[in-house]
């Protein structure tokens, strides 16, 4: 679980502020997220962690009255610059949600959808290859190889979530955002996803929002604790959970009345 | 514990753990006090009860370990809570060990008392024992109040115990070489002195745990060492 100090910064957030109408949800977030690491965002409901996550691939754009200030760069490129194609951005920055949300299509088409619209495959063989390798990387191939034409929604919850992960990585993203990806899953399916994240971080930068302290401690190399729209503490996960510097962090992770 | 957990049963568990350490600490203190009084009083009467009582310390340490494992499994403690539980387990093991040393002192005292030899060196032994008792008392208070500074003070004071032990060791060694008829009793005294010196060391390890509990790291500097007895030999004694 040791975090590699050589991992370079992938995502850089500076003074990120988010307003929903009059209400300010984020009060100037400064955060560096390293490549090939899992960063866990933790904090009580309404603290702004999901809001911050959605800033990274501009999912907040679709929310009425939402305004984002400050800068977020990925590999030095400003995500909010006018030259950015949001569809391209969301291919580079994939997202997995709390509730598995496969398309009401076949397992094959769920994974093939992204590569098709982004023109990533020149032939049926290439598309087959992308679907197979994505399902393999998501740890689902062995379970579905014989029924690729079955509906994605016919799978179990844990399988559906892995299908969504396969769908996200089929378009070769740099970053995978996960918003409580295991909260609807049983412990076995959760363990499978956690094992998968450890595998995926070799190639991707992973940012996960989770309400499970144990999960954050298990899977991440770095943890950021959000409270009332601010980052209270950000550091190596091992340090945050054994010896946090901030009293508020300590109270939150220990389940104390802060 | 200044902050309260939202799950109040967790606070009760932690309080129970503290209570068990206090009880175990009290028992270890009492065993040590009884054991070190034996030689002064030259009365073997309390020895059997002391030996029997050691089983209670063992049982309580076992119980504390079980509670700690339960708490880790059920509560998934983090940060200070986790450190408190780990520190309690380690301190309990040290206190149990101190009980073993007290028991060993009692067993050896029985032989010395039975020999009816008049000893002049029990003064430094008493001095050493009372120092170690004070240290143990202070470090248990430091644990109860999470006072890392007081714990470090205990840590520093072990130096004096080591010095007393080294000088006692030399005296006893000379005595054995001069009067071989007291060799058996002197050897027992040597071991008693060593036991007390070891209890001093164990007390410093409790001090380290208190520091760890408060700061999340161990004290940085090496503890000053003044026990030279492991390098002492008769040859070097005679040359001086």
Per-residue pLDDT 10s for chain A (258 aa) are 445 556 799 999 999 999 999 999 999 999 999 999 999 999 999 999 999 999 999 999 889 999 999 999 999 999 999 999 999 999 999 999 999 999 999 999 999 999 999 999 999 999 999 999 999 999 999 999 999 999 999 999 999 999 999 999 999 999 999 999 999 888 988 998 999 999 999 999 999 999 999 999 999 999 999 999 999 999 999 999 999 999 999 999 999 976
Task: Identify the structural domains of chain A with CATH numbers, from first to last.
Answer: 9-253 (3.40.50.300)
pLDDT of residue A5: 57
Beta pairing, strands A93-96 & A77-78? unpaired
- Give residue B126's pLDDT: 87
Q: How high is the mean pLDDT of chain B?
A: 90
Considering only alpha carbons, which residue of chain A is nearest residue B6? A256
The two most distant CA atoms of chain A are separated, in Å, by: 58
CB contact under 8 A, A255 and B5: yes
What residues contact A31, with CB distance under 8 A and at least 6 apart? A11, A12, A13, A16, A52, A224, A231, A234
Task: Give Cα separations from B210 to A252, B20, B65, B80, B203 (angstroms).
Answer: 23, 16, 18, 11, 11
With bands split at pLDDT 50, 70 and 90, how would you rate the model's confidence at B124? confident
pLDDT at A25: 96
Environment class of A4 (CB within 10 Å of its CB; exposed 0-12, middle 13-18, buried 19+): exposed
More confident residue, B59 or B226: B59
Q: Sign of the CA dihedral B23, B26, B32, B38?
A: negative
Residue range B63-79: mean pLDDT, rounded: 95
Percentage above 70 pLDDT, chain B: 89
**Number of helices (H) and strands (E), helices first, in chain B?**
7, 0
- The per-residue pLDDT for A29 is 97
The question of ipTM being above 0.85 is answered as: no
CB contacts under 8 A, A 209-228 vs B, are: 213-214, 217
Q: CB-based contact (8 Å) between A45 and chain B?
A: no
pLDDT of B224 > 60? The answer is no
Q: Chain B residues with CB-CB distance to A under 8 A?
A: 3-7, 10, 76-83, 216-217
Is the separation of the CB atoms in A209 and A223 below 8 Å?
Answer: no
Instruction: Set out the domains of chain B in order of their start, with CATH numbers.
Output: 8-239 (1.20.58.220)
């Amino acid at each position: 679980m040791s975090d590699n100090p050589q991992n370079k910064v992938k995502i850089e957030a500076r003074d990120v502020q988010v307003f929903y109408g009059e209400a300010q949800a984020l009060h100037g977030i400064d955060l560096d997220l390293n490549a090939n690491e899992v960063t866990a965002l933790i904090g009580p409901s309404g603290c702004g962690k999901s809001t911050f996550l959605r800033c990274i691939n501009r999912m907040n754009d679709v929310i009425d009255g939402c305004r984002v200030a400050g800068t977020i760069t990925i590999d030095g490129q400003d995500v909010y610059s006018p030259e950015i194609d949001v569809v391209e951005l969301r291919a580079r920055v994939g997202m997995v949600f709390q509730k598995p949300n496969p398309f009401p299509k076949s397992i094959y088409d769920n994974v093939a959808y992204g590569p098709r619209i982004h023109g990533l495959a020149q032939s049926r063989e290439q598309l087959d290859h992308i679907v197979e390798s994505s399902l393999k990387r998501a740890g689902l191939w062995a379970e579905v190889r014989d029924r690729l034409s079955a509906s994605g929604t016919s799978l179990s919850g844990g399988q559906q979530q892995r299908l969504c992960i396969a769908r996200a990585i089929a378009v070769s993203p740099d970053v995978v955002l996960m918003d409580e990806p295991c909260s609807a899953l049983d412990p076995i399916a959760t363990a499978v996803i956690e094992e998968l994240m450890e595998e995926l971080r070799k190639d991707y930068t992973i940012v996960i929002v989770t309400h499970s302290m144990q999960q954050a401690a298990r899977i991440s190399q770095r943890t950021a604790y959000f409270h009332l729209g601010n980052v209270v503490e950000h550091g190596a996960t091992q340090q945050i959970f054994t010896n946090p510097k901030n009293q508020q962090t300590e109270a939150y992770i220990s389940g104390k009345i802060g | 514990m200044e902050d309260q957990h939202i799950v109040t049963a967790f606070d009760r568990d932690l309080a129970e753990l503290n209570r068990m350490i206090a009880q175990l600490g009290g028992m270890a203190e009492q065993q040590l006090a009884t054991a070190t009084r034996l030689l002064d009083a030259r009365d073997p009467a309390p020895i059997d009860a002391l030996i029997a009582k050691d089983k209670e310390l063992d049982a309580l340490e076992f119980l504390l370990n079980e509670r700690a494992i339960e708490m880790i499994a059920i509560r998934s403690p983090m940060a200070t809570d986790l450190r408190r539980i780990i520190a309690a387990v380690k301190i309990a093991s040290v206190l149990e060990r101190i009980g073993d040393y007290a028991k060993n002192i009692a067993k050896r005292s029985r032989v010395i008392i039975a020999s009816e030899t008049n000893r002049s060196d029990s003064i430094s032994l008493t001095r050493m024992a009372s120092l170690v008792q004070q240290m143990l008392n202070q470090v248990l208070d430091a644990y109860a109040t999470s006072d890392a500074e007081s714990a470090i003070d205990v840590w520093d004071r072990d130096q004096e115990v080591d010095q007393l032990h080294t000088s006692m060791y030399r005296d006893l060694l000379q005595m054995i070489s001069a009067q071989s008829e007291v060799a058996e009793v002197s050897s027992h005294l040597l071991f008693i002195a060593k036991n007390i010196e070891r209890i001093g060391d164990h007390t410093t390890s409790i001090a380290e745990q208190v520091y760890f509990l408060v700061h999340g790291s161990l004290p940085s500097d090496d503890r000053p060492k003044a026990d030279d007895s492991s390098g002492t030999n008769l040859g070097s004694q005679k040359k001086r």
